[in-house]
Structure 1
């Protein structure tokens, strides 16, 4: 009897934590775009999805709820699993703009499921599953990072560019300050990996970041071919 009482108490506590996470909301989103050329140009390497090599462009990594105190909610509702049928009408856009290059080769479902469970469920009080993924796709359509950078003479040609010039070009193109994240290729060269912009709580508009994430990069970084 005592054991059953403990189990029941744990269930109530879990439900309370899930409710608290959902009710606390969030203050903004980080919208993170990735350059697949840099993901692939590491010792770990990459695998193209079953639909083929992604287009030569930045792709979505995620739409991540965040607090103004620089903390992030995560895994907010274990009772809201990813359901691909809910985004079936978005599938062609997902495959084009939100693909996976993780190994082993796959369709992207595992990646999307992870993003929904870890991040999407924490915005569920505002955006249901369909609205969450559609919001990310719509923001991507508004922000063509590759075109913005190429307009500033910054191209994925394996050359090195000043990270400050990259940030300034993106700010000029979007009207808002980005954060730039780098990774390293097998020879330890620092390369352009991800770009962070901030989005309002409705998932509709880019805003100035309440908190700009600190990501270390060398002064000059490589923009690898993909």
Structure 2
């Protein structure tokens, strides 16, 4: 018995030395995210109160083990389904390939976590560590309960390490492949499945319906598990909820191709790399306002007369679309205005384009903002809608 206790004590010591002990100071009465109008705090996740654990099935070319939906990220979406991105620039990390290893292994002495992530967290183009850094920079920095101020004695990069560790631990509780195959849904070059079959296999284990996405071949490609969270992310009190997005998969005829299938199926559209514009989007074009005359000029403002600016559209690394004009990169400023300027890093302002409509952070509604000048020469800001104005869509138009 004494030997067992000594062994247990040694084991616990090793865990403590290899990882930060998670904060539990928020208490059992901490609020559940999206359940109230409370302000963001170290014990209340807001505005990103919906935590999505996302997984990919990259089959051609194959990425990751043949029996695993690979980890993609942990995303804090707002309670209405929109989201913030690249929130805290003071805690972003370099994507040079060595930084994430240095943080996890050298700084926090957790080689086990690093090795586990190397197995399950894969990029379709082999840029695994760049993907890890990107996910922290774009999404992790928007989780307010792990801001440096939320630690009693913060170490540099401690929140980065905690994000990676919690992301992996949550992923381990959501074994998508195991759940599907246990229900008889197995990879096949010919067999197909229904949306109901897939949903039942996943929801019966998760406890809520699950969002899943199909690629252009009607093949299963992504799984998103939606959660609320009680208190701080560090407490890991995840609460499964129904998805805020609707599946694009057909009712029947859904493929689940084995990884490495060398058939005629093209590469799935789960991940975009830097380069040409996404399919259906011109590399260059104008930006117009739905139902309104005129267009955007090169600084990103709406102008009812004059020459429309030529905008450039390209796929960003790991998803999204970068937009630029002759003025420089385009993004969203602190007042939610669309703006283009040489000081803006277009890669850190990732837009979405769906049916030629431009959105940002999942929001495709825009409003007219402040103006300079008058009449036909007025230059007017366009601003992301907050729901309090008469909104419209902005569109990519071919030159």
State the partner residue of 1:126: 146
Contact map agreement 1:181 1:216 (CA 8 A) in 2: yes
- Measured in 2, the distance between the counterparts of 1:222 and 1:167 equals 14
Contact map agreement 1:26 1:66 (CA 8 A) in 2: yes
- Residues 54-111 of structure 1, C-alpha deviation per residue, up to 9 Å, x if partnerless? 4531111110001111111111012212241222222111111212222xx34x1111
State the partner residue of 1:223: 256
Q: Judging changes above 3 Å, is the alpha-carbon distance between structure 1 residues 25 and 130 closer, same or farther for their aligned structure 2 residues?
A: farther
Contact map agreement 1:55 1:96 (CA 8 A) in 2: no
Contact map agreement 2:228 2:238 (CA 8 A) in 1: yes
Q: TM-score, length-normalised on structure 1?
A: 0.75
Paired residue for 1:36, among 42, 54, 58? 58
Q: TM-score, length-normalised on structure 2?
A: 0.44
Contact map agreement 1:176 1:207 (CA 8 A) in 2: no
- Measured in 2, the distance between the counterparts of 1:177 and 1:36 equals 22
Query: 1:152 deviation in Å?
Result: 0.6
Q: What SS does structure 2 have at the residue aligned with 1:172?
A: helix
State the partner residue of 1:197: 225
Answer 1 or 2: which has greater strand percent.
2
Contact map agreement 1:198 1:206 (CA 8 A) in 2: no
Contact map agreement 1:139 1:205 (CA 8 A) in 2: no
Query: 1:208 deviation in Å?
Result: 3.3
- Measured in 1, the distance between the counterparts of 2:241 and 2:197 equals 19
User: What does 1:1-226 correspond to in 2, within 5 Å?
Assistant: 24-37=46-59, 40=60, 46=61, 54-82=65-93, 83-84=99-100, 85-88=102-105, 89=110, 90-102=113-125, 105-106=126-127, 108-126=128-146, 128-158=159-189, 159-184=191-216, 189-201=217-229, 202=233, 204-209=236-241, 211-220=243-252, 221-226=254-259
Contact map agreement 2:211 2:243 (CA 8 A) in 1: no
- Measured in 2, the distance between the counterparts of 1:163 and 1:24 equals 32
Q: What SS does structure 2 have at the residue aligned with 1:143?
A: coil
- Root-mean-square deviation over aligned CA pairs: 2.3
Answer 1 or 2: which has greater helix percent.
1
Contact map agreement 1:29 1:198 (CA 8 A) in 2: yes
Q: Judging changes above 3 Å, is the alpha-carbon distance between structure 1 residues 116 and 80 closer, same or farther for their aligned structure 2 residues?
A: same
- Measured in 1, the distance between the counterparts of 2:62 and 2:238 equals 31
Q: What SS does structure 2 have at the residue aligned with 1:72?
A: coil
Kindly name which structure, 1 or 2, has the bigger radius of gyration based on alpha carbons.
Answer: 2
Q: Judging changes above 3 Å, is the alpha-carbon distance between structure 1 residues 47 and 149 closer, same or farther for their aligned structure 2 residues?
A: closer
Where in structure 1 do 4 or more consecutive aligned residues deviate above 6 Å?
Answer: none
Which runs of 5 or more residues in structure 1 are unaligned?
1-19, 41-45
